[in-house]
Structure 1
Amino acid sequence: MRTNLSVEEALALVLAEAKGELGVEELPLWEAYGRVLAEDLASLVDHPDQDDTAIDGYACREGDTLGASPETPVRLRVIGEAPAGRPFAGRVGEKEAVAVYTGAPIPQGANAVVRVEDTRREGEYVLLFAPASPKDIRPKGDDLRRGEVYLSRGDLLTPGRLGLAAAMGYPRLKVFRRPRVGILSTGDEVVEPGEALPFGGVYNSNAYSLLGLVLEAGGEPVLLGKVPDRPEEVLARLERAGPLDLLLTSGGVSMGAYDVVRRVLEERGEVVFWKVKQQPGGPLLLARLGELPVLGLPGNPVSSMVTFFLYGRPFLFRLQERTDPPYRPLKAKALTPFKGAKGKKVFRRGVLAFEEGLVVRTTGNQSSGVLRSMAFGNALVVLPPDQDAQAGAEVEVIPLTFVL
């Protein structure tokens, strides 16, 4: 078992465990939002499938309209109209025009469009007060070309990408199965919300914070409840967890006599590492129970959430082969001081905002038991070991994607 790892060493070992195959399922478009594509998608069509108009106006021959102005309007005969979905079947000749509406195919013979705002209709004729232009014609395949790949295996299906898949002609999509993630809380002091809270007890907030984090990362949470600090009960619950791709435990991984999760995993599984040189979340543990990867998260609410965000989220992204990174560090100006820690990489909670540039301020109390900082803070301020940050300094920040 390795211990006292750097953040970077720990993350590399966690990602090395994300080697299972999730399998693929096929879903109709309306069920595929938020899932991850399991295949490249090439467009089945050209879009538009012919030259069409980007505006409402009149399609005509550009040469017939040169010199048109409010003082010297050009007069054209209107020979028909072309709403979107009902193309004009004829051909535009000299001094002729067809009324067209956004998305309508350009009629044969026309090579330019004049905006309706620059015209006045007079019976079967139209007066043009500006020349027609080809720039408002969208060429065939301007958006999509048949056979070209626009979405790739591992792409998250956002609203825009779901619409793009539909525009390419796909009614169903192959996506990766959601990773099943077990969530087990431990501790004699832990009780479920709604139950009477005994003296010294705490409500099981970790299970529901982690449930949200797993869902947000594309996983399927499996709530396994909570168990007391007794090794035999912890082991029994783990063995009954069912088929999982990752198991999360919260609590029981530190150095106390009642931190039994680590002891159980050492005896019945294989501990890959224990303890990372970071704050909060130092007692993080990575283990295997048979073929099942286990992330033993600390019991303090902030530590539990931060360690999942830094390690569990990248694990799930790797399993799903996602093409987007699990988080994107940025630079911001600190408006308040942030305190570092000796020999440890620190992740302080902050409020990130744009005020003539990116700025970040502290959420206040940085204790790992103050869950409010994860509810209303929207970023982690990253401090290297042995370094504080004073107000005015440039700092690294990681936006928390799950905070509005």
Structure 2
Amino acid sequence: MTAAKLRADAAPAPAPTSVSWTEARRRAYEAGTAAPLPITEVALAAADGLTLARPLTPLTDLPAFPTSSVDGFAVRGPGPWRVVGRVLAGGTPPALVEDGTAVEIATGAMLPDGAGAVLRVEESGRTADGRISGRLRDTPEWRSAGEEARAGEELLPAGSPVDPALIGLAASCGYDRLPVRRAPRAGLLVFGDELLTAGPPGAGRVRDALGPAVPAWLRRYGCDIGPADVIGPVADTLPAHVEALRSALADADLVCTTGGTMHGPVDHLHPALRELGAEYVVNTVAVRPGFPMLVARVTGRDGRDRFVAGLPGNPQSAIIALVTLVAPLLAGLQGRALPALPAVTLAGPVPGRGDQTHLALARVDPRDNTAHPVRHVGSAMLRGLALADGFALIAPHTQGVAGASVPLVPLPSRQGTLR
């Protein structure tokens, strides 16, 4: 690439037209669903946090055979009953072929053929000749084969997040491995010569807060990203930006960048994307804070799409870009549903932002589901973010009134749910 060509590519582009917050979220999600990650099979122990790629169906009926739900005696016919055997969980009982006979049975053990009822041990007695007696309950004391599910029945759809409960269910269904979408591979490029990567800020330079924080957020959204995948600060030149993006996209499904999303003299992201032949999915969003954000699609030589998410340099704006564009994009890539936004009740007034969506940091009181606006919420501030559970969404041309119900755009917790 020649210097003349780089200067031409760096020429200012016309200001893009902002799309609404709702439309931006939809576009990002649809871009992800159009480029789903490959399906792989992993052992159950390695599946936590991934996404089910095919519906979960039992390999047998659940239970596969009738099992006693209590300790006691499986009996045939009217009592008293002569005990002819014993069965524990994991064993195969002898059949009951005569009325008046019983098999001692443990909880979870297989019910013998011919049994018509189970007598609880604590409700049994002995006759003088050693037979078992007692009054049977009207309700069955066993689980019937297929009571929980039938073989082949869909228990959970493809796109379900794999968690410990799903893993346990899959094991009970007979699975050793699960078909899942592999984790998205992510990278981060930090732009800005003014940034320090260690020590306190000073002398005109500020500490990079996004380089350490963004990978942690991405991991909470299911991404695979390690220390070697974070590069920067990248030099404030167009060749350096192009090379850094090209190198990161070689290994990643998603590359996030911080800063450079405007069209200033050292904002090289847009011309670098043009050099790479990128196609914008979203280019600026009508939201405050955070409007100069973007997602672009880059098609690799292998024909597979990769994505670049341009996050603003101001820290809170960058996190708003994450919840607005990156979270739905990753949901689509993983084959998950676009997450529904829970409703909260505003505990106090929140100003609107005219024709822009306002995402206002809020702390949610779980006792009454009220959202309390927090302080220190400037675009460059992180103090308020550290206290918040998410962003109260104030729609364009509206004001947030105390007592009103509004959507909450949540921040992910360590477990991937609301904090």
- CA drift of 1:207 comes to 2.6
| 1:249 is the counterpart of 2:257 | yes
Distance of 2:19 and 2:140 partners within structure 1: 60
Distance of 1:89 and 1:248 partners within structure 2: 64
Q: What secondary structure is seen at the aligned counterpart in 1 of 2:309?
A: strand
Q: Deviations over 1:290-323 (max 9, x none)?
A: 544322111121211121122111111111212x
Q: Deviations over 1:36-58 (max 9, x none)?
A: 23334432222222111122233
- Paired position in structure 1 for 2:71: 56
Distance of 1:15 and 1:49 partners within structure 2: 40
1:227 counterpart (216, 225, 234) = 234
Equivalent residue letter for 1:338: V
- CA drift of 1:97 comes to 3.4
Distance of 1:125 and 1:298 partners within structure 2: 81
Distance of 1:375 and 1:56 partners within structure 2: 52
Q: Deviations over 1:168-194 (max 9, x none)?
A: 2222223222222221111122222x4
| 1:299 is the counterpart of 2:313 | yes
Query: Does the Cα contact within 8 Å between 2:284 and 2:291 map onto a contact in 1?
Result: yes
Structure with greater strand share of residues? 1
Query: Does the Cα contact within 8 Å between 1:111 and 1:134 map onto a contact in 2?
Result: no
Change (3 A) 1:363 1:112: farther
Q: Deviations over 1:255-306 (max 9, x none)?
A: 5433332343345544624321101211112334554432211112121112
Unmatched runs of 5 consecutive residues or more in structure 2: 1-13, 301-305
- Paired position in structure 2 for 1:99: 104
CA-atom RMSD, angstroms? 2.7
Q: What secondary structure is seen at the aligned counterpart in 1 of 2:239?
A: helix
Percent identity, aligned pairs only, is: 30
Query: Does the Cα contact within 8 Å between 1:229 and 1:252 map onto a contact in 2?
Result: no
Query: Does the Cα contact within 8 Å between 1:248 and 1:297 map onto a contact in 2?
Result: yes
Change (3 A) 1:120 1:312: same
Query: Does the Cα contact within 8 Å between 1:113 and 1:133 map onto a contact in 2?
Result: no
1:275 counterpart (256, 271, 284) = 284
Equivalent residue letter for 2:288: Q
Distance of 2:211 and 2:365 partners within structure 1: 29
Q: Deviations over 1:15-46 (max 9, x none)?
A: 34333353232222221222223334432222
| 1:352 is the counterpart of 2:371 | no
Q: What secondary structure is seen at the aligned counterpart in 1 of 2:392?
A: strand
State the TM-score, normalized to the length of structure 1: 0.86
**1:253-332 alignment, distance < 5 Å:** 253-266=261-274, 269-270=277-278, 272=280, 273-289=282-298, 291=300, 292-322=306-336, 324-325=337-338, 327-332=339-344
**1:32-43 alignment, distance < 5 Å:** 32-43=47-58
- Paired position in structure 1 for 2:116: 111
**1:17-28 alignment, distance < 5 Å:** 17-18=31-32, 19-28=34-43
Query: Does the Cα contact within 8 Å between 1:271 and 1:285 map onto a contact in 2?
Result: no
Distance of 2:276 and 2:110 partners within structure 1: 69
Query: Does the Cα contact within 8 Å between 2:187 and 2:255 map onto a contact in 1?
Result: yes
- CA drift of 1:352 comes to 1.8
Deviates more, 1:163-172 or 1:86-95: 86-95
Q: Deviations over 1:81-109 (max 9, x none)?
A: 32211233141744443332221122233
Deviates more, 1:331-340 or 1:368-377: 368-377
1:143 counterpart (148, 173, 177) = 148
| 1:365 is the counterpart of 2:376 | yes
Query: Does the Cα contact within 8 Å between 2:30 and 2:332 map onto a contact in 1?
Result: no
Query: Does the Cα contact within 8 Å between 2:311 and 2:321 map onto a contact in 1?
Result: yes
Unmatched runs of 5 consecutive residues or more in structure 1: 66-74
Distance of 2:63 and 2:182 partners within structure 1: 33
Distance of 1:200 and 1:103 partners within structure 2: 70
Deviates more, 1:158-167 or 1:393-402: 393-402
Change (3 A) 1:290 1:145: closer
**1:69-108 alignment, distance < 5 Å:** 76-91=81-96, 93-108=98-113
- CA drift of 1:60 comes to 2.3
Query: Does the Cα contact within 8 Å between 2:29 and 2:331 map onto a contact in 1?
Result: no
Change (3 A) 1:87 1:232: same
Distance of 1:82 and 1:22 partners within structure 2: 48
Distance of 2:341 and 2:126 partners within structure 1: 57
Distance of 1:277 and 1:20 partners within structure 2: 26
Query: Does the Cα contact within 8 Å between 1:20 and 1:245 map onto a contact in 2?
Result: no
Q: What secondary structure is seen at the aligned counterpart in 2 of 1:351?
A: strand
State the TM-score, normalized to the length of structure 2: 0.83
Q: Deviations over 1:207-238 (max 9, x none)?
A: 33321222222222232332133323222211
- CA drift of 1:141 comes to 1.3
Query: Does the Cα contact within 8 Å between 1:5 and 1:277 map onto a contact in 2?
Result: yes
- Paired position in structure 2 for 1:218: 222
- Paired position in structure 1 for 2:9: none
Distance of 2:112 and 2:317 partners within structure 1: 65
- Paired position in structure 2 for 1:376: 387
